[in-house]
Amino acid sequence: MNNRGLRFGEKCTRSSDCVCRQSEFPRGPCRSRHHALLELREIVKALVGDWQGSYEWIGKNRKGPMNARYYLTGNGTAVVEDLIVDGNANMTTVYHLDGADLRATHYCAAGNQPRLKATSTDSDNKVVKFHMVDITNMPTPEAGHVRDLELRLTSASQITILSTFVGSGKESVERIELARKT
């Protein structure tokens, strides 16, 4: 049994996503998906501060310097990411939990707001992938928008953000590399 009283292969009644994967003599606690998402939220909260780096919009063949600022809002329940070019926040993403789901709303420079849900998480490697659930302010189905978002927290002082941008039947990956300002 593990620390929740589960035997190997037994489902947890407190979390529909937790199945004990440990042998009779566990090495660590049984982790539900909700627990893993809470850990990832804490990782995202650890981004709070000022960052500098660069962006490359492959679809538009543009690149240049970019800064970012992460801060908490909603009494610490959400993390705001402002992506800053030439001193102006031109995109903002808000990360938060919705029950057991990690969500992101991206306020895009294209003028729309994709709402995304974490679909793949790797808390050991500090990677979270989001996929669009729906979108607001989309003028036409062909209009450009962010469909997928990936955060790679490569260290406490480095992050890579990958956005899959789609529009007019084309798809491109936009890459942002940031380092914490010292």
What is the distance of C-alpha 73 from the center of its chain?
Answer: 16
Report the share of the chain in percent with pLDDT over 90.
56
Structural domain for 25, as ranges: 1-31
- Provide the pLDDT confidence category of residue 124 given band limits of 50, 70 and 90: confident
Tokens at 121, concatenated: 């998480």
Q: Which two tokens stand for residue 20?
A: 């004990």
Does pTM surpass 0.85? no
> Measured between alpha carbons, how far is 118 from 130 in angstroms, rounded to an integer?
4
CATH number at residue 114: 2.40.128.20
pLDDT tens per residue across span 19-77: 434 333 333 444 455 565 566 667 777 889 999 999 998 867 889 999 999 999 998 88
Are 113 and 84 found together in one domain? Answer: yes
pLDDT of residue 136: 97
Could you tell me which of 115, 11, 109 has the C-alpha nearest to residue 57?
109
Same domain, 22 and 69: no
Half-sphere exposure of 42 (CA within 13 A, CB side): 8
Percent of the chain with pLDDT over 70: 77
Judgement on whether residues 23 and 56 belong to the same structural domain of the protein: no
Mean pLDDT of 77-85: 94
How many independent structural domains does the chain possess? Answer: 2
Q: Are 75 and 155 members of one domain?
A: yes
